[in-house]
Amino acid sequence: MSRIGKLPITLPNNTEVSVANDNVVTVKGPKGSLSTAVDKDIIVKQQDNQIIVERPTEQKRHKAMHGLYRSLINNMVVGVSEGYKEQLELVGVGYKATVQGSVLELALGYSHNIFMTLPSEVSATAVTEKGKAPVITLESNDKQLLGQVAAKIRSLRKVEPYKGKGIRFVGEVIRRKAGKTASK
């Protein structure tokens, strides 16, 4: 049996879950509402204050989807009750970030600034403290969308291994390389 799939999902007090006839799971909470379509073979039941995901057979396909859909539903429950947060750090001389509404403006050492429109589900703030690298904080109730937006921002200036300049996640460890050695 799937180790992840067999675990029940405990619902917080302020969260509601509904399963439609066409296997669409909708989760509502204080941070919003999310829904996902679950494969027709996977069974999603609500008992008391828990959600249980079951599979019909021991086929490899059913085993794979069992854990997947349990994780997706759990991510939705956590997202609408607590939310998700991702922090990116801009390391480099002259790197700046500003947020105006849903537009993120980045100065990353290119000849022009980069303007990125964020999805309506993702909110961003940019903080610049003197002597520290600027930090972009992204918040959303959708874990997948948040990760996708953070990865897109990070791909604009990947961290290089010699000086460590670029966009990185806060707390990420960068493997540094030694530069050229002077030889006689």
One-letter amino acid at 119 equals P
Provide the residue-wise pLDDT of the chain in tens; the chain has 184 residues: 468 888 999 999 999 999 988 889 999 999 999 999 999 999 999 988 999 999 999 999 998 899 999 999 999 999 999 999 999 999 999 999 999 999 999 999 999 999 999 999 999 999 999 989 999 999 999 999 999 999 999 999 999 999 999 999 999 898 999 888 766 6
Global confidence as pTM: 0.88
pLDDT of residue 179: 83
**Rounded distance, CA 153 to CA 28, Å?**
29
Sorted by where each starts, the structural domains of the chain and their CATH numbers stand as 9-81 (3.90.930.12), 84-169 (3.90.930.12)
CA angle 179–183–184, rounded 5-degree value: 165
Query: Which of 180, 172, 175, 177 lies closest to 87 in space, CA to CA?
Result: 172
Number of C-beta neighbours around residue 154 at 10 A: 17
